[in-house]
């Protein structure tokens, strides 16, 4: 088999919930690319891929699956993708990244496929439906197909088009809603209004596609924090999406938002203020049935999650546990969380963990000659 048949094109990112998904690139980069908080595609130009190119990539995935199954047979694993097969693939130094992705996908066996990049919903619906149907037919074991999509794009599609996409096999759309406040959306150049978010959200649900809305705590800064929380809660209550996902603002060190930070026009929230903003938003959500997840590494509190309405109190309790910590414990928790050593607020009560964090704080302050707040800020910045 020619080596060109053992690779295919992939883009740079996927949502955290698609970590075990097969990544297939239907379009390149972001057709909007103007959001001031988003560093991902800033040096890249959007381009479409032809249906022929996409189908060729899908065919290559099929070749790779056959190749990996061949490795399994040669190792005596009977075509199963076991840890020995994965290890064998990992040890092959000249294997392309896309090949690894397929091997891991087979090993984890999720059957999930994520369509890259930022807004492949911009493809003509018939073409997108054909590409999804093709991958569903050709690649064995696909159980779920997911894509990012922009509200402005989706609101321009008809319900019939979205139903066609669902019938072709599109199961879930992740929308970067970020905020329900028109003032915040305009300020960060999201290119979508609250009304478009609501329209797109309702349409996705009406088509029978699972809807996941990403929102961005902190995006209104100090000036619009309350409005951001309340308006986001209002729009989410109207939509009642299947999932609400938190992805806290971290300002990239370039572009207009960064310039506003430097000039004082935009004052970012502290960790505590961000947590209080999330609390206000959760408290203000109406009668919804969404599942809220905090699965992004940028979020300070990972265990704020659950299903509405029954878990609202549990989510608020996690937040209150953090807010009621003594100041020194908050610092230790934030240091541990931003350094990747802690996941849950409750871990800070463990005496061994506390001792380790206290030592790490003393060592870092001495070695770096910085105060602990600067150290936490630098640790957090690695997640931008």
Residues near ligand SF4, by CB under 6 A: 30, 32-35, 38, 40-41, 118, 150, 176
Q: How far is the CB of 190 from ligand SF4 (least distance, A)?
A: 7
Phi-psi region of 306 (alpha: psi -120 to 50; beta: other; left: phi over 0): left
Let me know the angle formed at the C-alpha of 112 by 106 and 116, rounded to the nearest 5 degrees: 110
Please identify, using beta-carbon distances, which residue of 41 and 99 lies nearer to ligand SF4: 41
Q: How far is the CB of 177 from ligand SF4 (least distance, A)?
A: 10
Per DSSP, helices labelled H in 20-76 are 51-74
Residues 40, 44, 48, 49, Cα dihedral to 10°: -90
CA distances (Å), origin 267, targets 23, 142, 219, 221, 251? 37, 45, 10, 5, 11
Please identify, using beta-carbon distances, which residue of 40 and 163 lies nearer to ligand SF4: 40
Contact yes or no for 142/113 (Cβ under 8 A): yes
Please identify, using beta-carbon distances, which residue of 116 and 290 lies nearer to ligand SF4: 116
Q: How far is the CB of 85 from ligand SF4 (least distance, A)?
A: 35
27 strand-pairing partners: 48
Please identify, using beta-carbon distances, which residue of 145 and 192 lies nearer to ligand SF4: 192
Q: How far is the CB of 12 from ligand SF4 (least distance, A)?
A: 10
Q: How far is the CB of 252 from ligand SF4 (least distance, A)?
A: 11
Please identify, using beta-carbon distances, which residue of 118 and 198 lies nearer to ligand SF4: 118
Token output for 282: 């959760």
Please identify, using beta-carbon distances, which residue of 21 and 29 lies nearer to ligand SF4: 29
Q: Which residues have CB under 8 Å from 297's CB, separation 6+? A: 16, 383
Q: How far is the CB of 119 from ligand SF4 (least distance, A)?
A: 6
Task: Render 294-352 in DSSP notation, one character per residue.
Answer: --STT-S-TT--EETTTTHHHHHHHHHHHHTS-HHHHHHHHHHHHTTS---GGGGG-HH
């Amino acid at each position: 088999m020619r080596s060109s048949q053992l690779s295919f094109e992939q883009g740079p990112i996927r949502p955290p919930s698609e970590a075990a998904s097969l990544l297939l690139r239907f379009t390149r980069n972001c057709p909007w690319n103007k959001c001031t908080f988003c560093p991902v595609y800033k040096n890249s130009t959007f381009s479409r891929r032809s249906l022929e190119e996409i189908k060729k990539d899908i065919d290559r995935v099929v070749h790779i699956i056959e190749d990996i199954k061949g490795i399994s047979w040669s190792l005596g694993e009977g075509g199963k993708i076991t840890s020995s097969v994965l290890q064998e693939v990992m040890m092959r130094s000249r294997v392309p990244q896309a090949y690894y992705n397929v091997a891991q996908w087979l090993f984890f066996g999720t059957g999930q496929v994520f369509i890259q990049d930022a807004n492949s919903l911009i493809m003509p619906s018939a073409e997108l439906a054909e590409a999804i149907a093709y991958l569903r037919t050709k690649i064995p074991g696909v159980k779920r197909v997911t894509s990012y999509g922009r509200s402005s794009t989706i609101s321009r599609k008809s319900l019939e088009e979205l139903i066609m996409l669902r019938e072709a096999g599109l199961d879930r759309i992740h929308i970067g809603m970020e905020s329900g406040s028109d003032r915040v959306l305009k300020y960060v150049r999201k290119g979508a209004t609250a009304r478009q978010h609501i329209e797109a959200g309702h349409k996705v649900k009406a088509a029978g596609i699972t809807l996941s809305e990403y929102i961005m705590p902190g995006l209104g800064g100090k000036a619009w924090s309350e409005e951001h929380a309340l308006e986001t809660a209002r729009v989410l209550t109207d939509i009642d999406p299947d999932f609400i996902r938190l992805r806290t603002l971290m300002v990239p060190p370039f572009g207009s938002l960064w310039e506003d930070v430097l000039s004082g026009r935009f004052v970012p929230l502290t960790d505590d203020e961000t947590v209080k903003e999330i609390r206000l938003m959760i408290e203000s959500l109406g009668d919804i049935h969404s599942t809220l997840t905090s699965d992004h590494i940028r979020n300070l509190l990972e265990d704020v999650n659950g299903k509405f309405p029954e878990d609202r109190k549990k989510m608020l309790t996690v937040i209150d546990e953090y807010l009621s910590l003594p100041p020194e414990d908050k610092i230790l928790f934030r240091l541990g969380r931003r350094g990747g050593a802690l996941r849950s607020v409750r871990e800070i009560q463990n005496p061994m963990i506390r001792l380790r964090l206290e030592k790490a704080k003393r060592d870092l302050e001495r070695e770096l000659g910085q105060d602990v707040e600067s150290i936490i800020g630098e640790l957090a910045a690695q997640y931008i």
